[in-house]
Every structure is written in structure tokens, then in C-alpha cells.
Amino acid sequence: MAPALSVTGLHKAYGPVQALRGVDLEVGPGELFGLLGPNGAGKSTLVKITCGLVRASAGDVRVCGAPAGSPAAHRSLGYLAELVRFPDWCTAAELLEIHQELVGSPGGVEERDELLALVELDHVPDRRVGAMSKGMQQRLGIAQALIGEPRLLLLDEPTSALDPAGRRTVRALLERLRERGVGVLLNSHLLSEVELVCDRVAIIDGGAVVAAGTPAELSHAGGVEVETGSGVKVFAEAVREDAPRIVRELVAAGEDVFAVRVRTSTLEDAYLAAVGRATEEVA
């Protein structure tokens, strides 16, 4: 089966500004892939090229094997933009209906009801978009993106307007999509959220991928701290497996050991390190 998303050597220039400089990444079926990076890093450009909204300067982007922007690619993807905007005059049900018709979905009212229930808007199908809160509009956007059972879902900051309960709902939804084999590219600034749900993560900065891997790989161990009678000793290069040996050696050396702590960096630490390193490299 073709990857849900395959990006190879992607470049994009807006005049003299290089937005993307040779990005390579792949999202498999049923994989939740997090895309991290500071503002202006090129994340949204990457997502828009995948959607066919922006043309690539060079490189290849394929959605389920079809070139990005082609009708076949459009049939396979769902998209939630960062700044969700829908016509304020139409109702939730009407919005889903036109997207159903554009996709050719035979789901009808059952599909609409199911999707509205999925994002907890089933009690307001006839409410106008203009009368909805930002959070409700964002949830409606997620429902809209899921129309036609896409095989690749592109979510650009899907939880930015949601409260903690709404975020939990979206996380649960992402888990269900994973089980159904939907590949998800999640573009978010909420590192803790990405760390919680994503199988793999790429950190992009200055238009290039500066780090990639699983959250565990990126959040690598950061040393061992031992509280002894003579103070706290830090073994910066040590990992969890080194802790028993370090304790034995300290005790053998006559130290009293009161506590041992394995230091682990978070995804945020990894992110800041990657972005900081990239910034230095650019400078």
C-alpha cells in the first residue's frame, strides 16, 4: 500500500524567499505524524502544497500515490486549515452537505449526523456558523475534514481554539483514526499534545527538517543525578542503565547515597535544541 503522504526533495520559493529547502518525509497509513516548528518555518506551506493550494518549486509530493493537487489526491485527503473559516450564513449541516456533494459521498444525513456527534455538535446541526464559538467552528472544521473517509488527514493547529475537554475529544478521535488506518499529519505548536498522540515527529525550521524520529527518540535521556552526603553529583552522559553501576561505585568510594534520578529531556527540550541549533547554523 502506498504511503498516505510521501514528500521528496520539496522546495518552495516565494520570490527570493526560500520557504522550503528540500524537505523529505513520509506518513504511513494509520500513522500520526507531528510537524513542529516555529512560525514561518514552512509547515503551513508544506501542508498547502500537499493540498494542492500552493505549487511546489521543485520536488515531489504524493498523496496515497497520486501527485498532490491531482483529482485523485484530492479524493484521498481531508484538510483543516489553521484559521478555520466557513461561510457564516450556512448551518453546520449545510456546510457538511456541500462538502459531501463535492466529494461524492453517498453518506447522506447519516454521515452528517455521525460526524457532528463525533465532534459533539450533534445538538446544533441547524445553527449558523456565524453563531458558533471559535471552538465549535474548529470542531465543525474537523467534521468537515473527515467527510468522505479520507486516507490522509492534514490538521493545521486543530486544537488551538479548543478547551481542555475539546482537546481530549480530538486526541480520542485521532486514536480512532489511527485504528482505521488513516494517516494524519498534525501541525501543532502544542508540543505536549504532539508528544501524547504522535507516532513520529519532524521538527522543521528555516524550510528544512532539522530533527525527526519518534517522540521517545527525540526526548533522549539527559544524564543521571545522584544526591549524596557531599552534594548532588551529575553524570551528564549517563543513561538509565548506568544508574546501578554509578550507585555501586559511589558507595564503594564511601559516599552515602540518598536519591537517584534519571534526567530525561522532554520533546520541548528537543524542539528548542533543534530549533536553536538550526538557528545557529543559519546564522
Residues at the contact surface with another protein, assessed by CB under 8 A: 14, 48, 51-55, 71, 74-75, 77-79, 81, 83-87, 89-90, 94, 98-99, 101-106, 141, 144, 148-149
Smallest separation (angstroms) from another protein to the CB of 143: 12
Record the cell numbers describing residue 245, joined without a space: 553501576
* Closer Cβ to another protein, 86 or 271, answer by number: 86
Task: Tell me whether residue 73 or residue 210 sits nearer to another protein (CB atom).
Answer: 73
Residue pair 19/49 in contact by the 8 Å Cβ criterion: no
139-to-46, 92, 105, 224 alpha-carbon distances in Å: 23, 10, 20, 43
Based on CB atoms, which residue is closest to another protein, 44 or 159? Answer: 44
Q: Rg for the chain (alpha carbons), in Å? A: 23
Q: Which is nearer to another protein, 45 or 219 (CB)?
A: 45
Query: Smallest gap, in angstroms, from Cβ of residue 72 to another protein?
Result: 8
117-126: long-range pairs with CB below 8 Å, 24+: 118/143, 118/146, 118/173, 119/143, 119/169, 119/173, 120/169, 121/92, 124/92, 125/91, 125/92, 125/93, 126/91, 126/92, 126/93
Distance from chain centroid for Cα 187: 4
Query: Nearer Cβ to another protein, position 90 or 124?
Result: 90
CA–CA–CA angle 276, 277, 280 (5° rounding): 90
Of 66 and 246, the one with the shorter C-beta distance to another protein is 66
What's the closest the beta carbon of residue 181 comes to another protein, in angstroms? Answer: 16
At what angle are helices 164-179 and 134-145 packed, to 10 degrees?
Answer: 0
Which residue, 143 or 211, is less far from another protein as judged by CB?
143
For the chain, give percent helix, strand, coil, nearest 5: 40, 30, 30
Per the listing, cell 521538527 goes with 203
Shortest distance, CB of residue 28 to another protein, whole angstroms?
Answer: 21
State in angstroms the smallest separation of the CB of 104 from another protein.
4
Q: Kindly state the smallest distance separating residue 71's Cβ from another protein, in Å.
A: 5
**Through-space distance between the first and last CA atoms of the chain, rounded to whole angstroms:** 42
- Shortest separation between residue 270's beta carbon and another protein, angstroms: 32
C-beta closer to another protein: residue 105 or 265: 105
The least CB distance from residue 53 to another protein, in Å, is 4
For residues 112 and 108, give the distance between their C-alpha atoms in angstroms, rounded to a whole number: 7
Q: What are phi and psi of 48, to 5 degrees?
A: -70, -35
